[in-house]
Amino acid sequence: MKVAGVQRSFPVGGSTLQVLKGIDMEVPERQLVMLKGRSGSGKTTLLNMLGGLDQPTAGEIWFLDQPLHGWNDAKRTELRRKQIGFIFQAYALLPLLSARENVELSLRMAGVPSAEWKSRVAYCLELVGLGKRMDHRPGELSGGEQQRVAIAKAIAHRPRLLLADEPTANLDSQMGAQVMAVFRSIIETEGMTICMTTHDPTILEVADHVYEMVDGRFV
Ligand SMILES: Nc1ncnc2c1ncn2[C@@H]1O[C@H](COP(=O)(O)OP(=O)(O)OP(=O)(O)O)[C@@H](O)[C@H]1O
Ligand SMILES: [Mg+2]
């Protein structure tokens, strides 16, 4: 993924709030790239645009040599379902579905043949240490366990790019390290590329590259 001169501003009240002020970055294939920066610096705003959830006010975003910044909603949604995995700051699990069914949903949305669902879901939930919790609903799981289901859900359809907003925020340091080991192993075994945000200095050490955001710019 290549980002050039990306700006994003929002209309607030009668004026315009400039949140991203010209971002240039590169997320090379099979790398783990991290964004750090203070609360409100613009990390989530940028991640949303990398995943095609939002569009820049100015600038370009290229994904696999395709101009994401010029695409309409429908085309970006299609790309997201198949090629991108998302882990949001608040885990987006459906409360009435079990862990297994939540993960299965992303396979269904990506058009993966149903014959492959069972083994892939089990594999992904085992990868995050939840093989024994597959039939629990989110309300029957701890916060950290829910976060790990969200991770399994985000990688199940083998996206080319995984975008993760503070994926270890609610985990203890041991589980955080385990999640980072999972990330490392899916980069190796599945050729995935990961871009994530974090505040945790011990986790930043695992990155191939760290970008620091200060007030809408990289420093
Ligand atoms: N839709 C919006 N309309 C107006 N302002 C917004 C909007 N989205 C974000 N902002 C503002 O942009 C700034 C950056 O927000 P963002 O969520 O990207 O920060 P962040 O770096 O992810 O922070 P945190 O570490 O707390 O998650 C904030 O000041 C926020 O209020
Ligand atoms: Mg954020």
Residues in the chain: 219
Top CATH class, 2-218: alpha beta
- 49 and 1 in contact (C-beta within 8 Å)? no
- Give the nearest ligand 1 atom to 37 CA: 21
Alpha carbon of 164 to ligand 1 centroid (Å): 16
Q: How far is CA 191 from CA 11, 31, 65, 79, in A?
A: 39, 9, 17, 18
The torsion of the CA quartet 173, 178, 183, 188, rounded to 10 degrees, works out to: 140
> For ligand 1, is residue 74 a contact (CB within 6 Å)?
no
Task: Give pLDDT, residue 46.
Answer: 97
As beta bridge partners, residue 214 has 217
Q: Which residues surround ligand 2, an ion (CB under 5 A)?
A: 43-44
Note the pLDDT of residue 171: 85
CA of 109 to the centre of ligand 2 (A): 26
Q: What is the pTM for the complete model shown?
A: 0.93
- Residue 40 Cβ inside 6 Å of ligand 1? The answer reads yes
The Cβ of residue 214 has, within 10 Å, a number of other Cβ atoms equal to 12
Encoded tokens for 156: 């199940």
Q: H/E/C letters for each residue in 41-58?
A: CCHHHHHHHHCCCCCCCE
Q: What is the pLDDT along the chain (219 residues), one digit of tens a residue?
A: 999 999 999 999 999 999 999 999 999 999 999 999 999 999 999 999 999 999 999 999 999 999 999 999 999 999 999 999 999 877 789 999 999 999 999 999 999 999 999 999 999 999 888 999 999 999 999 888 998 999 999 999 999 999 999 998 888 888 889 889 989 988 998 899 999 999 889 999 999 999 999 999 999
Which of 7, 16, 19 to mutate for ligand 1's pocket (most ligand atoms within 8 Å of CB)? 19
d(CA 23, CA 136): 41
| Ligand 1 and 17: CB distance under 6 A | yes
116-150: b (≥16 Cβ within 10 Å) or e:
ebeebbeebbebbbbeebbebbbeebeebbbbbbb
Protein residue whose Cα sits closest to atom 17 of ligand 1? 44
How many angstroms does the Cα of residue 45 sit away from the middle of ligand 1?
Answer: 6
